[in-house]
Structure 1
Amino acid sequence: MTVEQAASRERLRYPAGDIVVISGLPGSGKSTLMRRTEPRAEVVLIDSQYVRERWARRLGRRLPYGLYRPLVRVDHYARLWLAVRAGGSLVVHDCGTLPWVRWWLTGQARRYGRGLHVVVLDIPAEVARERQEARGRAVSRYAFARHRWAHRRLLDAAGDGGLAARCASVLVLDGAAAGTLRGISFGRGHGG
């Protein structure tokens, strides 16, 4: 149960069957890091953005997201629940604004004898905001303020050891360390 900060490494390696939760501000690179997971065929990726995009394709772009957001959330959490129950290596995108998801995952990991690892991408808010605007998917000011508040609480929990007490490992990466990462992999005998 360790907390590492600003570790410089190219790949994060975890034991097969464990759960990795990636958290950070919108625009910090969570989805990008998830897409670099190997071996992709053997690891389940749960990202609410993928679910949102699937629903957008199904319903068409004319319908405002606010109208079908509840469907996306139900679909996302149903996929997460099924993936946890199925076992196997799992990487979860965590927006951070709903801490109960991490606590639920902690309980599920313990129940099924799996390690839970949290990776926090600690990117400056201004950089995250610029990245959002560059990709054309900026969240509202209100939503971003909520994300910043939740992110601060998560960093505080990582810093005071409260998060590490519940997890197999906690890794906080600043922008430079996150920039060196080439991906996540799972296998026998690998450590975070």
Structure 2
Amino acid sequence: MTALVSHAPSDALRLVLATNDLVVVAGIPGAGKSTVLHEADNRAGAAVIDSEHVARRLSEVVPAWLSYRWYRPVVHLVHRWRILRAAMSFAGPVIAHLPATCWRTRALLILIGMLSRRTRRLVWISVDPDDAYRAQVGRGRVSRPRSFARHVRHARAIEDVLRDTGRLRGWHSAQVLRRPPRGTRLVLAPRS
């Protein structure tokens, strides 16, 4: 199996995409999923579905006193709807990010990929939990301790399976990627 993500010259990571790919960038909260996608060079014309867009829009319309934790479920629901809509209607590759540490979330993403007849690819960003927690503090949204511990526990199990087998049930390909250093550019390239 060829690597989905490869190192390119000049400290860039290269992600080669086919038009029917559904790529899920996953990992624990604070792993750097949004950062990697925000800084990506999207040469493939991929639809990049980011929950940050939903969270930002909602934060503009909800009362200022309402903390994110109270409207987080709405963000999650709308984000998953946007992934489904893009997978079903967009003509090119679709890239989405979410933790996907829960089997139900991964099952939903697999189902979306199957319904949309897309090749399901998982890029798992592995990061030290302490670094991820500091990143959460830095962005101003911190998971509750029990929730974060659950994400970490599930993530370790997923990473163990991926390291041992190189596969994850329901995905055409899956790859563990250490969290890239800040400033590392992800190049989304079309398959030629």
TM interval, shorter chain, is 0.7 to 0.9
Could you tell me which residue of structure 2 aligns to residue 55 of structure 1? 58
- Name the CA distance, whole Å, in 1 between partners of 2:74 and 2:118: 29
Could you tell me which residue of structure 2 aligns to residue 155 of structure 1? 159
- Name the CA distance, whole Å, in 1 between partners of 2:169 and 2:80: 25
- 1:168 paired with 2:172, answer yes
Alpha-carbon offset, residue 92 of structure 1: 1.0
Higher relative contact order (CA 8 A, sep 6+): 1
Matched position secondary structure for 1:26: coil
- Name the CA distance, whole Å, in 2 between partners of 1:117 and 1:85: 16
Of 45-54 and 146-155, more deviation after overlay is shown by 45-54
What is the one-letter code of the residue matched to 1:103?
A
Alpha-carbon offset, residue 40 of structure 1: 7.3
Could you tell me which residue of structure 2 aligns to residue 91 of structure 1? 95
* Contact 2:110–2:171 under 8 Å retained in 1: yes
- Name the CA distance, whole Å, in 1 between partners of 2:84 and 2:63: 27
After TM superposition, the structure 1 = structure 2 runs for residues 1-192 of structure 1, keeping only pairs within 5 Å, are 1=1, 8-9=7-8, 10=12, 11-39=14-42, 42-87=45-90, 88-161=92-165, 163-175=167-179, 178-179=180-181, 181-189=184-192
Of 179-188 and 124-133, more deviation after overlay is shown by 179-188
- Name the CA distance, whole Å, in 2 between partners of 1:67 and 1:148: 22
Alpha-carbon offset, residue 41 of structure 1: 9.0
- Name the CA distance, whole Å, in 2 between partners of 1:127 and 1:63: 27
**TM-score, scaled to structure 2:** 0.81
- Name the CA distance, whole Å, in 2 between partners of 1:66 and 1:131: 17
Higher helix share: 1
Alpha-carbon offset, residue 3 of structure 1: 6.9
How much is the aligned-residue C-alpha RMSD, in angstroms?
2.7
Q: Which ranges in structure 2 are unaligned for 5 or more consecutive residues?
A: none
Q: 1:40 to 1:59 in 2, by over 3 A?
A: farther
Q: Which ranges in structure 1 are unaligned for 5 or more consecutive residues?
A: none
What is the one-letter code of the residue matched to 2:38?
R
* Contact 2:25–2:33 under 8 Å retained in 1: yes
What is the one-letter code of the residue matched to 1:64?
S
